[in-house]
Amino acid sequence: MFKKRKMIVFAILVVLLLGIFGFLGKSKPAAEPGIVASPKIFAHRGAIDQFNESTITSYKIASEQNVDALELDLRMTKDNVLIVMHDETIDRTTNGTGRVSDLTLREIKSNVTLGQYHGEITMEEIPTLAEILQTFGNKQNYYIETRLVYGETVMEEVLVKLLSEYHLLDKEKVAIQSFSERSLEKMAVLAPDLPLTLLFKKGEFDLEKALTVDFPAIGMESTDATVEIVNALHRQGKEVHVFFNDLETMEQQQEKMKALNVDGYFTDNISFTKRLLGE
């Protein structure tokens, strides 16, 4: 009886030890190689650590730092002109107030972005997309974000017309990103050569959708990116581009993204990202 009990205890210990070693032996999946040879750096709204966002000066500073693309957010005015502005209103970044879609271009231009540069007070108009394209032409690459206007896909045709006028309907020069599948689907019809990126808001990432949509790149907030998610997208042949909502943790998050081999960074600090990536 005693011998039998010893054998049972021994068997239990063996099972426990095997379980412990099995648990310890399980390691986190390794990051697989990215899709691109070297990660891309996108100047998020320009060089916003050095100048006011979404201004021509901010984009000039970014352009001088040899980024892979200037990242532009589009809004449409009441009279159907595309301007470069992230917010729905002009309140945060200018001395004016009001929704972009409720203001004409003339009314938009009566307000300025106020800031400081090299110790001097600056005043700069909100640029139209045409003014940005006029300034940089085909000497720069553009990563343009489209969005619905009052729930409708109306800015896409205006955008494609402008890109055509400036001879920029070129996949090497322009990429389109959007949180709206409808907008991207319309762009795919109007400008089939341009690469498209589906964006996901922070906390709303859907891997199943990201894997099945017919877009070559996926954009997400960095805290939603994991090695499993990035690997799954890479296996599907999709690039992974990350943005950073928290400026205080951006540097730490970018270091984590480097370990995951993501393919693109929407950065608010170009010089840091270039150092991180060894450029």
For the domain spanning 40-276, the CATH number is: 3.20.20.190
Tokens 């997309």 appear where?
Answer: 129
pLDDT for the residue numbered 26: 52
Mean pLDDT along residues 245-259? 97
Contacts of 27 (CB under 8 A, 6+ apart): none
- Tell me the one-letter amino acid at 249: T
Where are the alpha helices (H) located in the chain, listed in sequence order? 2-25, 56-64, 105-109, 129-136, 155-165, 181-190, 207-212, 227-235, 250-260, 270-276
> Domain locations in the chain?
40-276
pLDDT for the residue numbered 39: 98
Mean pLDDT along residues 60-82? 97
| Per-residue pLDDT band at 9 (split at 50, 70, 90) | very low
Residue 16 has pLDDT above 60, yes or no: no
| Per-residue pLDDT band at 13 (split at 50, 70, 90) | low
Mean pLDDT along residues 185-194? 98
Closest alpha carbon to 129 in 165, 182, 99: 165
- The residues annotated with a catalytic role in the active site are 44, 86
Indicate the average pLDDT of the chain: 91
> Taking a C-beta distance cutoff of 8 angstroms, is the pair 126, 72 a contact?
no
Predicted TM-score (pTM) of the model is 0.89
